[in-house]
Chain A
């Protein structure tokens, strides 16, 4: 069994005009040292998936169905106190904007010591020693001196390194990184991604990388799941997904990337018409059908299931016609 297993997860938000289903039947697993990418456009449910794993869904949202198994335990049934033992300890999370994650009025040292003392009975000196080691791990120069500095004294890339160091403090088994480089420049992004890769190997961690950037996913992850309107629509080994996507949405997404169009620069990009539906107005049948080029009668009425594809052992696609039109690309 994998370290983390999510089975048929459903998250919904109770709103005035009825329940809004943000995640619908999402299943995946993540093992030690494994790097899983979660890709989708805004509103696809990728962040909610990350939050659900560590039970950070706030009211009016809640997990309405399914199981989250971590190390054999049902995280979804944990009390808030039990969950606090897991969060930031066994499973850590990194967010997009490091300035929002760090407290601007506390020094880096205080914030790191606090995180350690929240989970262990440890003296300040011992905690600071661990903090220094973790800062070294993320390549912060002269870490002892840095402990007494405030977040504003660091650049954006350095701040994100510190956030990663804080996530590493209690030697987590899994790191969930939600768009960790979206707010950063490309050269800094490349550095942070390299660091995450290095750390997964060094620390035996599993990484769940949530991002909208297929390029980042292709460089960092081994496996990827593509989400659309609260559902997983395709999962595969990253290499295979990128080189031969099957779901029409995945194909459209990859072909829409400038620089990936066969036609070459200056030519029209292949575009998916329309935009992601609002979660309150998801179409019946396949949720992608109003935007799909290959839509047939059955797509309008019947919801496709996430199924294994014949001849593709590592791939699951939720599409009635997963191979239609694959050849003409």
Chain B
């Protein structure tokens, strides 16, 4: 399974300029007018690879940059620096026309099926648009056949193709959004919190659907979520992000059995357990800093119980951990074996 990476991200950086207009940027300081720049540092130097056939989950709390990472990979945001490669080809430098053949192979599923479907388009219009856009010469009968096939697969009655989104429940809408991603037969799908807006019983249906689609079509997923129990269930590898930085990347089972990074440990201990067996919560002191003023050194040092002076000054590198199947951890304490 772990052969060639389908998507590779190298030293990806994404900053958003939020300084506003000219007047808002103007500052009067010691007799001079200066122009300041304010940037949200959403993704900082992230490198990772997604291998064909796997599900790589990216987890983290709100504001950690996981969605920005996903959208930048999809080309929805241009990266500030760094490279994005699709099967070895750089795609971050392409113009929209050159990007077209890649877009056909990469699709995205969003969190909120109420917002991601156009309320004024019927299911048929929603589903046939990507098909006709990417295959200009497709015949009407072929479109019909493809729609019927994909609707059948996601569990929406093909007879409902002329209905509008408001006639469907949240779970069914998410099925339609998945059908829209599947209809052009992609090989790589980015799912950004695809089940977070859904109830538990519907969540199980959609997760099953995503896993079935993966089996049947050999899909590769980049799965963005904050829900660790979902991660444990669907993914083969997990990347944990904190404040725009990748802090741990490991095979799912190993991450849950023996997390290394102090943040991963705290995160795992905070999941409420249904069996009621209370684990000791590892309490983190303080608040998540803003991504505008990133802390120097390790981004986690302000809340980390193991931080020392080195953590305050030196950014830890993502290093392999001995005795694991390729776990990467960015932590001085782990590297120094203090932990």
Interface residues of A (CB under 8 A from B): 41-42, 155, 157-158, 185-191, 193-194, 212-216, 218-219, 238-239, 242-243, 252-254, 256-261, 265-266, 268-273, 275-276
Contacts A185-B61, A256-B203; A268 near B270 (Cβ below 8 A): no
In the docked arrangement, what's the CA distance between A275 and B232, Å?
25
Complex CA gap A158/B172 in Å reads: 36
Known interface pairs A41-B201, A268-B211, A269-B207; A258-B232 also in contact (CB < 8 Å):
yes
- Listed A/B pairs (5) with beta-carbon separation below 8 Å: A189-B270, A213-B272, A239-B276, A268-B208, A271-B205
Choose among A242, A261, A271 the residue that contacts B275 (Cβ–Cβ < 8 A).
Answer: A242
Q: Which of B200, B207, B270, B273 contacts A253 (CB 8 A)?
A: B200
Determine the distance from Cα of A252 to Cα of B203 in the docked complex, in whole angstroms: 12
A239 partner residues in chain B, CB cutoff 8 A: 276
Are B274 and A258 closer than 8 Å at their CB atoms?
Answer: no
- From 104 to 150 in chain B, residues with beta carbon under 8 angstroms from any chain A beta carbon are none
CB–CB A275/B229 < 8 A: no
Query: What is the bound-complex CA distance between A190 and B266, given in angstroms?
Result: 10
B25 interface hit (Cβ, 8 Å) = no
Interface pair A41/B272, CB less than 8 Å apart: no
Interface string of B249-281 (1 = CB under 8 A from A): 000110000000000001101111111101001
Contacts of A238 in B (CB 8 A): 276
B287 within 8 A of A: yes
Contact of A261 with B233 in the complex, beta carbons under 8 Å? yes
Tell me whether B229 and A259 are in contact (CB under 8 A). Answer: yes
Q: Which residue of A218, A252, A254, A275 contacts B273 across the interface (Cβ within 8 Å)?
A: A218
- Docked complex Cα distance between A273 and B171 (Å): 11
Chain B's closest residue to A253 (CB) is B200
Nearest Cβ on chain A to B154's Cβ, whole angstroms? 14
User: Is the Cβ of A256 less than 8 Å from the Cβ of B283?
Assistant: no
Does B230 sit at the interface, judged by CB under 8 A? yes
Residue from the list B62, B229, B253, B288 in contact with A258, Cβ < 8 A: B229
Q: Are A187 and B234 within 8 A (Cβ)?
A: no
Q: A137 to B252: give the CA distance in the assembly, Å.
A: 39
B314 interface residue per 8 A CB criterion: no
Give the docked Cα–Cα distance between A96 and B33 (Å).
45
Q: How far is the CB of B166 from chain A (nearest CB, A)?
A: 13
Q: Which residues of A contact B317 (CB under 8 A)?
A: none
Which B residues are closer than 8 A to A by beta carbons?
A: 61-62, 169-172, 199-205, 207-208, 211-212, 226-230, 232-234, 252-253, 266-267, 269-276, 278, 281, 283-284, 287-288
In the complex, chain A residues whose CB is within 8 Å of the CB of B228: 186
Most buried by B among A193, A260, A271: A271
Contact A41 B200 (CB under 8 A): yes
Pairwise interchain contact A257-B199, C-beta atoms closer than 8 A? no
Give, as a whole number of angstroms, the nearest-CB distance from A271 to chain B: 4
A41-B200, A258-B234, A259-B232 as given contacts; A266 in contact with B211, CB under 8 Å: yes
Does the CB pair B204–A270 fall under 8 Å? yes
| A186-B271, A243-B275 given; A257·B229 CB < 8 A | yes
Residues of B within 8 A of A266 (CB): 211, 233-234
Are A187 and B229 also in contact (CB < 8 A) when A193-B272, A219-B276, A265-B253 are?
no
Say whether B266 contacts A187, CB under 8 Å. yes
Given contacts A185-B61, A253-B201, contact A218 B233 (CB under 8 A): no
Bound complex: CA A242 to CA B273 (Å): 10
Report Cα–Cα, A252/B205, bound state, in Å. 12
Residue contact B272 to A242, C-beta cutoff 8 Å: no
**Given the complex of chains A and B, what is the CA–CA distance between A186 and B263 in angstroms?**
12
List chain B residues, Cβ under 8 A from A158: 287
Chain A contacts of B199 at CB under 8 A? 41-42, 212, 275-276
Q: In the assembly, what is the distance between CA of A174 and CA of B191, in Å?
A: 41
Name the residue of chain A whose CB is nearest to the CB of B63.
A185
Question: In whole Å, how far is A42's beta carbon from the nearest beta carbon of chain B?
Answer: 6
Are B226 and A258 within 8 A (Cβ)? no
Residue on B with the closest CB to A42? Answer: B199
A242 to B170, CA, bound (A): 27
The answer to whether A215 and B211 touch across the interface, beta carbons within 8 angstroms, is: no
Contact A257 B266 (CB under 8 A): no
Given contacts A41-B200, A258-B203, 12 further A-B contacts (CB under 8 A): A185-B62, A186-B61, A186-B226, A186-B267, A187-B61, A190-B270, A190-B281, A190-B283, A218-B273, A219-B276, A253-B200, A269-B233
**Closest approach, in angstroms, between the C-beta of B53 and any C-beta of chain A?**
13
Complex CA–CA separation, A257 to B278 (angstroms)? 18
Docked complex Cα distance between A243 and B275 (Å):
7
Q: Are A219 and B272 in contact (CB under 8 A)?
A: yes
Closest Cβ neighbor of A220 among chain B residues: B272
Please give the distance in Å from B13's CB to the nearest CB on chain A.
24
Residues from chain B with a CB closer than 8 A to the CB of A157 are 287
Contact (Cβ within 8 A) B287 A155 = yes
Q: Are A212 and B274 in contact (CB under 8 A)?
A: no
With A213-B272, A215-B273, A259-B232 in contact, do A275 and B204 touch (Cβ < 8 Å)?
Answer: no
Given A187-B266, A191-B283, A259-B233, CB of A271 within 8 Å of CB of B204: yes
For B272, give its contact among A188, A190, A191, A252 (CB under 8 Å).
A190
Please report the C-alpha to C-alpha distance between residue A243 and residue B229 in the assembled complex, in whole angstroms: 18
List of B residues within 8 angstroms of A271 by Cβ: 201, 204-205, 208
Cα(A186)–Cα(B240), bound, Å: 14
Question: Given B204, B212, B272, B281, which contacts A256 in the complex, CB threshold below 8 Å?
Answer: B204
A273 to B276, CA, bound (A): 27
